[in-house]
Amino acid sequence: MRPAHLIASVVTAAAAVIALANPASAAPINYVALGDSYASGLGTGSYDGSSGGCKRGPLAYPALYAAATAPATFKSVACSGARTGDVITQAGNLTAATNLVTVQVGGNDAGFTDVITTCTFGSDQDCTNRVNQAKTYAANTLPGLLTNVYNTIKSKSPSARVVVLGYPRLYKVPGSCNVGLSDTKRAAINSGSDALHNTIGARAAAAGFRYVDVRGVFTGHEICSSSWWLNSLSWPVEESYHPNRAGHQSGYLPALRSAIG
């Protein structure tokens, strides 16, 4: 090899090494959080005054993730009580520049509040029947509603990484609780969480989104366990059966960070 060619080869190789050692800066993250009360932070007891009835707060997992990772922009529009149609409206906050989206919805569509109310005040059979109705809805009606949500997200932010988060089982069965709901009711409610998991996980996968199953993360931290990450019947009542501060900090946040990488 002639000297000139040798020098050129050395320079090229050196440039390649420098490029590997100094990769291009990652694109800035523009993060938008969508969803219902589990995503807004209802249950943590700390809410932004400007969020009104949506009960968004700094201790919810989207806000915790943003505080830990410092994205270029962050906006949560998650709202207590939101159903799939509401999340489609929330998606109006997405743009082509949005490159990270989290979304959690489906529990209210399936009748979460009514299930809990029926199981609290009704008989074991009343509870089981109402949960079975919710499971039928989750299997037959919810899939199409979720597909509409996920398609809307893709149309608004086609290049975004989208992470779909699921719901935990609420109870440890049998557990340490000697009062409250029977184990029959607790097991029925847990089976409803499993039904939501089946539907949400399948529709997220069909959309090409990452699904985060938090049931394993919350195992050992359900209501009636030795370390609760969820509120039981609480005051204010609206905070009942939602993740508490530990549920967001030690449950949802690590699961989300692991999913995003």
Active site residues: 37, 242
Cα atoms in the Cβ-side hemisphere of radius 13 Å centred on 148: 14
With a CB cutoff of 8 Å and minimum separation 6, the contacts of 202 are: 143
Judge contact between 25 and 60, C-beta under 8 A: no
Strand 73-76: give its sheet, edge to edge: 73-76, 30-35, 100-104, 161-165, 210-212
Strands (DSSP E) contained in the chain are 30-35, 73-76, 100-104, 161-165, 210-212
Distance CA 135, CA 18 (A): 57
Residue 133: is it exposed, middle or buried by C-beta count within 10 angstroms (0-12/13-18/19+)?
middle
Judge contact between 58 and 50, C-beta under 8 A: no
User: Could you tell me which of 80, 79, 65, 82 has the C-alpha nearest to residue 31?
Assistant: 65
Distance CA 105, CA 62 (A): 14
72 token code pair: 């270029």
